[in-house]
Homo-oligomer: A and B are copies of this chain.
Amino acid sequence: MGELCFVGLGLRDERDLSLRALETLRGCHRVFLEEYTSRSTPGTVERLEALLGRPVELLDRADVEAETPILSALAAQEKVALVVVGEPFAATTHVSLRLAAQDHGHRWKVLHNASILTAGPSLAGLSLYKFGRTCSLPTPHENYRPRSPYEVLAQNTRAGSHSLVLLDLDPGASRYLSAPEALRLLASLETEWHEGVLPPGRRVVALARVGSDDPQVVVGPWEEVSRADLGPPLHALILPGEPLHFIEEDALSRWPRAPPGPPVGGALP
């Protein structure tokens, strides 16, 4: 019987690992890491290898979804770790892997870590308790333009709940949806479905590089924020549910508004 340990990497790199996680990883026979559901800072794998004194095996999406590399390692070894950026079970695929390991008679455990779901709202200064359902905004393709993220935002808006909007990313192709791009996409969905998700002047919060040494937060009407330059990924958005608590108002007032100017970044399909 093997043991599969899901280890949260946190928001950035190997130095976000806890002392407990580091000790656990050092006690594992095989250490895998996947970066397709999110991504760590470049060089993390190499630095983690140096820290552990053992190889770290990088898995791509197909490897994790096929479950073969990890189930084979479990069958042959006692302890196997999968390091996941953020909190390990934010993506369904990791829960599936845990169920598959159980089906094969293996034990599992989890070492939790910071997630954008709590870190983003915390950084902005908005109450975690007031967030409704989170949604993930995909880059639209010709035949793929799902309505569900917009519906979640409409429902939260009607309920006065805050919304966290996670943005599509494809680390393998180095493609990351930016917050300004996401706002222009939401504006086009609003034009199509007009349920009040992005009425003129609605205040939004754009987040960039949460958990890094240079996080950035910009607050303002969506038209202004959609012209802001927030720098490198990862980005996220918050649509605050109005009215805000006075402490939330105070916290948002400390962040800069987006600088006026021409649109930044490329057009969306």
Interface residues of A (CB under 8 A from B): 8, 10-11, 14-20, 22-23, 87-90, 92, 95-96, 98-99, 102, 110, 112-115, 117-119, 121-123, 125, 127-136, 155, 159, 161, 210-211, 245, 247-248, 250-251, 254
Q: Which residues of B contact A254 (CB under 8 A)?
A: 99, 102
In the bound complex, what is the Cα–Cα distance between A114 and B117 (angstroms)?
10
Given contacts A96-B247, A129-B136, A247-B96, contact A90 B16 (CB under 8 A): no
Contact status B16-A17, CB under 8 Å: no
Would A18 and B17 be within 8 Å (CB), given that A128-B90, A247-B95 are in contact? yes
Rounded to whole angstroms, the CA-CA distance of A88 and B15 in the bound complex is 18
A132 / chain B contacts, CB cutoff of 8 Å: 132-133, 161
Instruction: Provide the residues of chain B in CB contact with A117, threshold 8 Å.
Output: 117-118, 128
Those 7 A-B pairs whose CB atoms lie nearest each other, nearest first: A89-B122, A112-B114, A112-B119, A15-B20, A115-B118, A15-B19, A87-B118
**27 contacts across the A-B interface (CB closer than 8 A):** A11-B112, A15-B20, A15-B23, A16-B19, A19-B19, A87-B119, A87-B122, A89-B121, A90-B118, A90-B122, A95-B125, A95-B247, A95-B248, A96-B247, A98-B125, A99-B125, A99-B251, A110-B122, A110-B123, A112-B118, A112-B210, A113-B114, A114-B115, A118-B118, A129-B134, A130-B133, A155-B159
